[in-house]
Amino acid sequence: MSGLQLLLRQLRREAEGIVSYEFVSAGDAPLPAFTAGAHIDLQLPGGLQRSYSLVNDPGDRHHYVIAVDRAADSRGGSAWMHSMPRPGDRLASSVPINDFPLYEDAPLSIFIAGGIGVTPFMAMAARLNTLGRAWRLHYAVRSRQRAAYVQELSTLDRSGTSVNLYCTSEDMGRPDIVAIVCDAPAGSHLYCCGPNGMLDTFTTACAGLAPQRVHLERFSASQEAATAGGYEVRLARSGKTLGVEAGKTLLDTLLDAGVPIQYACSQGVCGTCSTPVLEGTPDHRDDYLSNEEKAANQAIMVCCSGSLTPRLVLDI
């Protein structure tokens, strides 16, 4: 992982179960600039790597701020972040990466967030304020206690009408995503980040819109990883051939064989493990590649995808 050394300066409780982390450069070099919607990949103990959206205004060059939800089904990342880091600790990080960019020229940007999915929209709203562009946020949470950054959003909401908060435990209902999409003015861009159910509804509602107006980011997989096995993978550069057994993912097989490969989310949503395919037909299980890219079969997310053919040749 190309990288940075970050110094943790401050932790702060943002809501029930949600903590923010402010990082500064651990050396003399300034932090690289980033654009709204970007994330960093933090290297955690035990070989874990996790992606977190940058929350702060992209114009704030002196620090990076992320927020982490304490997930009940944590696979190690959020559990470690909520229990171990302390101010003064150093963490290795990637430079900022943006797979969820803001279209800055839209006359209106409409954001739909579920829970911790609000984090990329904080930076986007700040950037649009700088540009003098209009935005709206529909923010769904289980309760007011679980709503992070409410005060900050109030400050960002200069018109007083841009933020709509939905607390499902207070009989406030959920955002009517179909209505939000149908009522979106011509030329507006729509963004969604949240749980899979919300994203699936959003995708269906936006089916009739021009694809370039629709943007989404997942933080969990929409389908199970491929673990049927029964195929072999050949590594073109090293000449190795490995058998992928039933019950194992392709990534498990590569790591067990000592193949050095970068990965982060292990769910096919971040793109870190994208690997060129030279031969064979992948069983695509990721949410990172577009339908066109999947049909081309030129890349595979090895963390979750498998093979539909007996043999898969990768450019490793």
Examine the pLDDT at 66 and tell me if it is beyond 60.
yes
* Selection from 171, 39, 198, 182 nearest residue 112 by Cα: 198
Given CA atoms 66, 67, 70, 71 in this order, what sign does their dihedral have? negative
Maximum distance among all Cα pairs of the chain, rounded to whole angstroms: 62
Examine the pLDDT at 74 and tell me if it is beyond 90.
no
Mean pLDDT along residues 1-8: 84
pLDDT tens-digit profile of 76-102? 688 899 999 999 999 999 999 998 999
Select the CATH number that applies to the domain covering 231-314 from these four: 3.20.20.140, 3.40.50.1980, 3.40.50.620, 3.10.20.30.
Answer: 3.10.20.30
**Pairing mode, if any, of strands 299-301 and 64-69?**
unpaired
Task: Supply the pTM of this predicted model.
Answer: 0.80
Q: Which CATH class is domain 108-218?
A: alpha beta
Domain definitions of the chain by residue range: 4-93, 108-218, 231-314
- Looking at CATH, the fold of the domain delimited by 4-93 is given as Elongation Factor Tu (Ef-tu); domain 3 (2.40.30)
Residue 87 CA to residue 208 CA, distance in Å, equals 48
User: What percent of the chain has a predicted confidence (pLDDT) above 70?
Assistant: 96
pLDDT tens-digit profile of 161-197? 999 999 987 766 789 999 999 999 999 999 999 998 9
How far is CA 83 from each of CA 70, 79, 86, 91, 266, rounded to the nearest angstrom? 10, 6, 9, 15, 22
